[in-house]
Amino acid sequence: MHEGGKLAVAATIPLTSPEDLSRAYTPGVAEVSRAIADDPSLARRYTWVANTVAVVTDGTAVLGLGDIGPRGAMPVMEGKAVLFKQFAGVDAVPICLDTTDPDEIVETVARLAPSFGGINLEDISAPRCFDIERRLDARLDIPVFHDDQHGTAVVVLAALRNAVRLLDRDLAGLRVVVSGAGAAGVAVTRMLAAAGVADLVVCDSRGVLSGDRSGLSPVKATLAAETNPRGVTGSMADALRGADVLIGVSGGRIDEAAVAGMAPDPIVFALANPTPEVHPDVAHRYAAVVATGRSDFPNQINNVLAFPGIFRGALDANARTITAAMKLAAADAIAAVAADDLRPDRIVPSALDPRVAPAVASAVAAASD
């Protein structure tokens, strides 16, 4: 499947005669170039920019493989581009940068930006990813979206909305524990807070993020200040005691005893891939609803449910940025696709469901107004 790569460039026009050639290229193309030079906004109409996204990585946080470098990351970025095209008709170009310096990444992407209608940042390690996305979003007039953060958060919220609906519970009243304070953990926490979850506790490998913890990075210190309203301290087991929801985005193992200490019939999303924080067989001993990041178990929390439609909607709306409202709208749209047939083993649509990307695109475009 991967021999020769998974992508190719295809022409959208015929070149079967000298007239075709003279119109598509020189001399005819000069008229289009002059028009765009006079009015840069015409690039959206007369070039591929309005339908093309750059998928940019430095190869420092690829899947569960870690820092494998730009060449090792290329098969993943190619795959991402295939998903963009397959599910949303968006053309995507993988760009693997041979630098891990945030300043160089920001400057390189900014220089490349005129060729694209959006920037999908991918597999860039935390905490650098936060700074890189923030700076590019402020600098560019096209959408910038770090999928490892926000794509994960959107699908987690969609799944949690449906799990709560299935169990006849109240989203705002949940006690939620997030295991992991990296890119996905930070974004999931903030997305759930924006959706109305008030009781959020975040844990890293050393335990609960709280105000009395020393040595926290600036990102973790901010997260500690924004969460943990009951002042929980201690270990993961302490955080999970009486909790309604566990969302694992850390890759660290969580003991069965800690899961057993949760509230009755909890919700467990153990999303590390390929090895979930809690194996589904163990989680099912206690949980009413279980989700993973794997395709060989039910309820796969898969970012492909989010990013193709999000970019399709943002491109269609000529959006300059992807706002919190657009991400919330995307989560609601994903949840709605599965809402008519909810079961404990079906709280999100299949990644192959053709209804998802159009529904997300429509919701995102509407929310961009």
The CATH class that applies to domain 150-292 reads alpha beta
pLDDT digits (tens, 9 = 90+) for 211-228: 888 888 898 999 999 999
What single letter denotes the amino acid at residue 96? C
Q: Cα separation of 308 and 82, whole Å?
A: 10
Quick check: 113 and 119 in contact, CB under 8 A?
yes
CATH number of 18-142: 3.40.50.10380
What single letter denotes the amino acid at residue 172? A
Conformation bin of residue 204: beta by default, left when phi > 0, alpha when psi is -120 to 50:
beta
What single letter denotes the amino acid at residue 364? V
Mean predicted lDDT score pLDDT of the chain: 94
In sequence order, which residues have a C-beta less than 8 Å from that of residue 215 and are 6 or more positions away? none
pLDDT digits (tens, 9 = 90+) for 85-100: 999 999 999 999 999 9
Q: What pLDDT, on the 0 to 100 scale, is given for residue 334?
A: 98
The answer to whether 273 is a known ligand-binding residue is: yes
pTM, two decimals, is 0.92
Quick check: 175 and 245 in contact, CB under 8 A?
yes
Catalytic residue among 80, 220, 286, 327: 80
- Number of alpha carbons in the 13 Å side-chain half-sphere of residue 103: 0
Question: Could you give the 3-state DSSP secondary structure of residue 28?
Answer: coil
Residue 65 pLDDT class (50, 70, 90 cuts):
confident
The answer to whether 162 is a known ligand-binding residue is: no
The answer to whether 318 is a known ligand-binding residue is: no
Tokens of 299: 């309820």
pLDDT digits (tens, 9 = 90+) for 124-174: 998 899 999 999 999 999 999 999 899 999 999 999 999 999 999 999 999
The answer to whether 19 is a known ligand-binding residue is: no
Q: At residue 318, does pLDDT exceed 80? A: yes
Mean pLDDT of 332-358: 95
Q: Please say if 80 is a catalytic residue.
A: yes
Quick check: 178 and 189 in contact, CB under 8 A?
yes
The answer to whether 38 is a known ligand-binding residue is: no
Quick check: 245 and 176 in contact, CB under 8 A?
yes
Conformation bin of residue 345: beta by default, left when phi > 0, alpha when psi is -120 to 50:
alpha
Residue 113 pLDDT class (50, 70, 90 cuts):
very high
Listed residue (64, 180, 66, 76) closest to 120, CA to CA:
76
Q: What pLDDT, on the 0 to 100 scale, is given for residue 77?
A: 95
Q: Cα separation of 187 and 189, whole Å?
A: 5
Quick check: 237 and 261 in contact, CB under 8 A?
yes
Q: Cα separation of 185 and 277, whole Å?
A: 13
Q: Please say if 25 is a catalytic residue.
A: yes
Q: What pLDDT, on the 0 to 100 scale, is given for residue 295?
A: 87
Cα–Cα distances (Å) from 285 to 166, 219, 243, 281, 347, in that order, read: 19, 35, 16, 7, 19
pLDDT digits (tens, 9 = 90+) for 3-61: 999 999 999 999 999 999 999 998 999 999 999 999 999 999 999 999 999 999 999 98
Q: At residue 180, does pLDDT exceed 80? A: yes
List where CATH 3.40.50.720 sits in the chain.
Answer: 150-292
What kind and span of H or E run contains 179? Answer: strand 175-179
pLDDT digits (tens, 9 = 90+) for 242-256: 999 999 998 789 999
